[in-house]
Chains A and B, each alone.
Chain A
Amino acid sequence: MSDFDNGGAEEGPEIENELLALDAWHRAKGGRMVSFAGYEMPVQYEGIMAEHLWVRDHAGLFDVSHMGQLFLSGDGLDAALEALIPADVVSVKPNAQKYSLLLADNGGILDDLMFTRWDDGIYMVVNGAVKYDDISHLLDHLPDDVTINHMADAALLALQGPEAVTVLSRLVPGVEDLVFMTGGRFVWNDVPLWISRSGYTGEDGFEISLDGEQVAAFADALAAEPEVKPIGLGARDSLRLEADLPLYGHDLDTDTTPIMAALNFAVGSKRRRAEANFPGAERILAERDQGPAVKRVGLVIDGRQPVREGAAVVDASGAEIGKVTSGGFAPSLNAPIAMAYVPLALAEIGTVIQLSQRGKVHTGTVTAMPFIPHRYVRAGGK
């Protein structure tokens, strides 16, 4: 028996992996550690399927401290940042969080990110696998007046699932008043916390930034609550796939634009489109008007065999016309699902698509995403 591949884990044998602040904590909880984004990270504890379903029903604790946490400050920051991302930065209110994309000059995606306005600047969370590239890009392109602080000593936890609010408000009263994509400063046992109501599972939940020295005590406190289990990278991947959340380096890269990636909401600002002064604006706006050549879609695969990243989308003659960028078995749907880039003509919901993997042809149907409805707690939604 042998693996065809490592299931998307990023191997970096020539570079020694960094250890998370919670490394010993994960091992003590039975985490199976793998190499990912330059870190030793837990891929699972009791099993991906059980962990995935636990998050959909209860609350799961994720250590996402491999992600890059940056703090940007200085005069002219908003305008300078708008030169690199398509978001309306200026109108983002204090403690409001926004999704955006770091774009290359040709409109390709360098990374996807979340940013939040703090009193004295902008807090940004970027992907772990490319965080040093992002920092270089920001250093190269932001003016000298802007300071970039890589918060390398900060840990980042995510508590996700329908019971997350019950648990976290028990430990940190007040978090229940946050709504999706907002954050605030809190304190637990004298430990300062930055908490936002956000995540990467499609469920309600929170992301919590705190000092790496304190994270083990806080993780212990959370994990002691009956609603909470630790969740590994494997379930994080299947949860985000069901929730239509693309993964950088897989579903997004420098060859894909926001429109190809079906992230049109990331170029949702009328002012930014009118000014057309973000990288790749000409191409991105043309694709937005006329349609991209290829587009990211969701597929439900016939049968039970997963069709995974790297499988080809083929036409009737067997010629490759697209690619699967993420795929796996969806525990909440009890069926294999995938994300793929297909020619625009095949991107309509209900289109049946042929896929080729290791010499075998599979059939998938273009399906509206998210596969599982989002359960975010939005402003005015109560």
Chain B
Amino acid sequence: MSRYFTEDHEWIDVDGDIGTVGISEYAQGQLGDIVFVDVPEDGKELSKGDEAAVVESVKAASDVYAPASGTVLEGNTALADTPGLVNEDPEAEGWFFKITLSDPSELESMMDEVAYAAFIAKL
């Protein structure tokens, strides 16, 4: 399984043609206390870069973009009652949605963990 990151701080884990999407540890730290997450409906078609989910902290609302194109398989229903999972465990339990990838070649332009760590070190 491989993990990729976007410059907008989404991560995607890829296993076969299934991707699991969330926001990075850095992103949750920037957002602060997360009080609401809106994940996409099952079956929704997303193109890379589409607004896929909304995450709201005490202070502000933010869009989460689809890091790759595909069809939403499921949203993380646990986030409806426990949005704080995104703060506690953003890169595992706090995942946002799973997607069936339509074009895995889109991943090639994304950063791996080492490149992303270097990217946020400069922010």
> Is A49 an interface residue, CB under 8 A from the partner?
yes
Across-interface contacts of B9 in A (CB, < 8 A): 1
Residues A305 and B38 in contact in the complex (CB < 8 Å), given A2-B8, A331-B58: yes
Count A-B contacts at CB 8 Å: 72
| B65 contact set on A, CB distance < 8 A | 1-2
- Interface: B10 (CB within 8 A): yes
CB contacts (< 8 Å) of B55 on chain A: these are: 1
**A289-333 toward B: CB 8 Å interface, digit per residue (1/0)?**
000000000000001111010000000000000000000110100
Q: Is A329 within 8 A of B32, CB to CB?
A: no
Shortest Cβ gap from A230 to chain B (Å): 16
Are B35 and A304 in contact, with the CB atoms below 8 A? yes
Binary A-proximity of B31-59 (CB < 8 A = 1, otherwise 0): 01101101000000000000000111111
- State which size class the interface on B falls in: 20 to 34
Partner of A44, one of B10, B32, B64: B32
Contact with B along A208-242 (1 / 0, CB 8 A): 00000000000000000000000000100110000
Q: Taking the complex as formed, is B61 at the interface, i.e. its CB lies under 8 A from any CB of chain A?
A: yes
Counting CB contacts under 8 A, is B27 at the interface?
yes
* Set B8, B33, B63: member contacting A48, Cβ < 8 A: B33
Contact B23 A238 (CB under 8 A): no
Number of interface residues of A (CB under 8 A): 28
Chain B residues numbered 93-109 whose CB sits less than 8 Å from any CB in chain A:
none
Q: How far is the CB of B20 from chain A (nearest CB, A)?
A: 16
Given contacts A1-B8, A1-B9, contact A7 B59 (CB under 8 A): yes
Say if the beta carbon of B75 comes within 8 Å of chain A.
no
Q: Is B58 a contact partner of A234 (Cβ separation < 8 A)? A: yes
Question: B83, A234: Cβ atoms under 8 Å?
Answer: no
- The complex places the Cα of A214 from the Cα of B89 at a distance, in Å, of 42
State the CA gap A8–B38 with chains docked (Å).
22
> Bound complex: CA of A308 vs CA of B60, how far in Å?
8
Across-interface contacts of A329 in B (CB, < 8 A): 33, 35-36, 56, 58
Q: How far is the CA of A329 from the CA of B34 in the complex (A)?
A: 10
Interface residue? B77 (CB, 8 A): no
Are A4 and B61 also in contact (CB < 8 A) when A234-B32, A329-B56 are? yes
**Distance of A356 from chain B, by nearest CB (Å):** 14
Q: Name the residue on B nearest A233 (C-beta).
A: B59
How far, in whole Å, are A329 and B35 apart by their CA atoms in the complex?
A: 7
Q: In the assembled complex, how far is the CB of residue A235 from the closest CB belonging to chain B, in whole angstroms?
A: 8
Residues of B within 8 A of A2 (CB): 8, 62-63, 65
CB distance from A176 to the nearest CB of B (A): 33
A2-B8, A47-B33, A48-B32 given; A305·B56 CB < 8 A: yes
Minimum-distance CB pairs A-B, first 9: A7-B60, A49-B33, A7-B59, A329-B35, A48-B58, A305-B36, A4-B61, A304-B36, A1-B8
**Interface, chain B (partner A; CB < 8 A):** 8-10, 23, 27, 32-33, 35-36, 38, 54-65, 80, 83
Kindly list 8 other residue pairs between chains A and B, CB separation below 8 angstroms, not including A306-B35, A328-B59.
Answer: A1-B27, A2-B8, A48-B59, A49-B32, A303-B36, A304-B80, A305-B36, A305-B54
